[in-house]
Amino acid sequence: MTVMTIYEIPDAVLREVAQPVDAVTDEVRTLIDDMFETMYAARGIGLAATQVGVTKRVVVIDLQEGEDDEGKPIRDPRAFVNPEILSTSDETSKYNEGCLSIPEQYAEVERPARCRVKWLDRDGAVHEDEMDGLLATCMQHEIDHLNGVLFIDHISRLKREMLVKKLNKARRAA
């Protein structure tokens, strides 16, 4: 497996709309494996293919909730090919979101608390499920990436400008 480059704002690839995957092939499974390797190396919980410069509708998520007996996060890697939100709840929730493409920056984002999602798994099987909590938030965040939308697009212009200035200041200091 390979750790891929994660593109950061303002890279134009992050604003591209990803194309559907025609079939889940060995090439797509390799992409999924490399995306997991990249996400774990960056200490993230979700990653969209556009973030690694691949404009295909592929998302990987592992919330890594809980710890094993040795104190390591319990991994539950899940791959989503061509994920599609079928419906969302009227009820909303707020979460302090971050993004591997906007490193070390966070903002409170309000999204639907639940969503019904349809996708293909790494073997090409179709799934449909109701998601809530952090999984619903993460899925909506990652599908936004596939549509060229970033979490900072969901906050006020003033907060977005402050966040980008803070990121640029951190980059100059590094």
pLDDT recorded at residue 24: 98
Answer whether 0.85 is exceeded by the pTM: yes
β-bridge pairing 102-112 and 92-99: antiparallel
pLDDT recorded at residue 1: 82
Query: Does residue 65 have a pLDDT over 90?
Result: no
Going by C-alpha positions, the residue among 155, 149, 62, 43 that lies closest to residue 103 is 43
Question: Is residue 67 among the annotated active site residues?
Answer: no
The amino acid that residue 73 corresponds to is P
The structural domains of the chain, with segments of one domain joined by +, span 12-85+114-150
pLDDT recorded at residue 62: 97
The second-level CATH assignment, the architecture, of 12-85+114-150 is: Alpha-Beta Complex (3.90)
pLDDT confidence of 95, banded at 50, 70, 90?
A: very high
- The whole-angstrom separation of Cα 155 and Cα 140 is 15
Catalytic residue among 8, 27, 84, 142: 142
Arithmetic mean of pLDDT over the chain: 96
